[in-house]
Amino acid sequence: MKTTLTVLCENTAGFPMKIMGEHGLSILIERGEERLLFDTGQGIALLRNASSLGKDLSQVTRVALSHGHYDHTGGLSDFLDVSPNATVCAHPDVFIERFARFEGPTGPQTMSIGIPFSKEALEEKGAAFDLSPALREISPGITFSGEIPRPADWKTWDDRLVVKDGDDFRSDPFLDDASLIVDTAPGPVLVLGCAHAGLHPILEHVRKETGIDRFHAILGGTHLGAGTQEDWENALGLFESCGVEKIATSHCTGFHAASFLAGHLGDRVSPASAGVSFEF
Ligand SMILES: [Fe+2]
Ligand SMILES: [Fe+2]
């Protein structure tokens, strides 16, 4: 059975005709007759890029959300305009408020970066929700990782990303961070949103719960852009230990971490830019 993963939204445009880049991620998974959308970008490019690529989103009746950041969920309302009765699979924490704190041009800033819609507003548009922290098959051959258990010494890579804690803020624990495991002819493909839970905990969890030991490919955001050179070296070792043949990094991987991986793994690494398809 042929499986095609097409990047509909990503920070860069990788196809020459009428494709728009935006900070965000959305990947259309076509597996046999099944159609599933993984994340929706931030809502600027989704419908335009899908149309430019000849992808009919009205045929997609299932969406999986990797986590509640605006750059992965902001296209949900536009998507529901095209496919009003879709089922949305996610962790229940996808709707919590979240913020980014950073140094802006006029001083320290706190910006809301959570999902920009309420559950009720999306339900009014016709969405049905499958919200659970459990690992589960959400479409034939496509498994939602569910909540990723963390080691006792787990620490976020990105202290700028926070949630409210009374009158103050604390690091976002990202309990909703989830990935997909897609069965394909050459082997399982792991599709990451931002990997906020960390690459090592994600792979540990998936290996333990599914028995999968080797991945044919890993696609999506790794958040290595917020990591250190040591984190990049650990990721490289992890990918090698999983026997990964193809790595298509994108989004929050960032230029320097992607360059590091490409420098070591050569043409096994490629950019997963908007408009690019991967066939398995
Ligand atoms: Fe992101
Ligand atoms: Fe994120």
72 CA to centre of ligand 1 in angstroms:
6
274 CA to centre of ligand 1 in angstroms:
14
69 CA to centre of ligand 1 in angstroms:
6
68 CA to centre of ligand 2 in angstroms:
7
Taking CA atoms, 121 is separated from 28, 45, 49, 87, 261, in Å, by 24, 21, 25, 14, 41
User: Rounded distance, CA 201 to CA 195, Å?
Assistant: 9
184 CA to centre of ligand 2 in angstroms:
26
- Number of neighbouring beta carbons within 10 Å of residue 254: 19
Residue 148's domain is classified under what CATH number? 3.60.15.10
What confidence tens digit (pLDDT) does each residue in 226-277 have?
Answer: 899 999 999 999 999 999 999 999 999 999 999 999 999 999 999 999 999 9
The closest ligand to the CA of 250 turns out to be: 1
Residue 148 in this model has a pLDDT that exceeds 90: yes
Report pLDDT for 15. Answer: 84
The whole domain housing 252 covers 3-279
Q: How many domains does the chain have?
A: 1
Q: What is the mean pLDDT of residues 78-103?
A: 97
What is the residue-averaged pLDDT of the chain?
96
